[in-house]
Structure 1
Amino acid sequence: MSETNYYVIEHDRQLSSNGASLQWPERMLQGYDYAAEEEIVYVKSGQPFSSSSILAQYPLLLLSDELSKFIMKLAPEITSKRVVVMNLEQYNQSFYHLMDLPKATCIAPDQALIQSGQVMSIMADLSGLEQEPAFLIPYYRTQLVIVRLELAERLLRAGIYGLNVRPIQITEGDM
Structure 2
Amino acid sequence: MAANDPHVKIKDELYRIEEDCIHSGKSQFNAGDRWAFYHYCLGIPSVVLSSIAGAAFLKDYPELAGAMSIIVTVLTALMTFLKPSERASSHKSSGDQYLALRNDARIFREIKLDQACDAQAAIDGLDEFTKRRNELNKSSMPPARRDFIKARKGIDSGEALHAVDKKDK
Structure with a larger share of its residues in strand: 1
Q: TM-score, normalised by structure 1?
A: 0.22
Higher relative contact order (CA 8 A, sep 6+): 2
Structure with a larger share of its residues in helix: 2
Larger Rg: 2
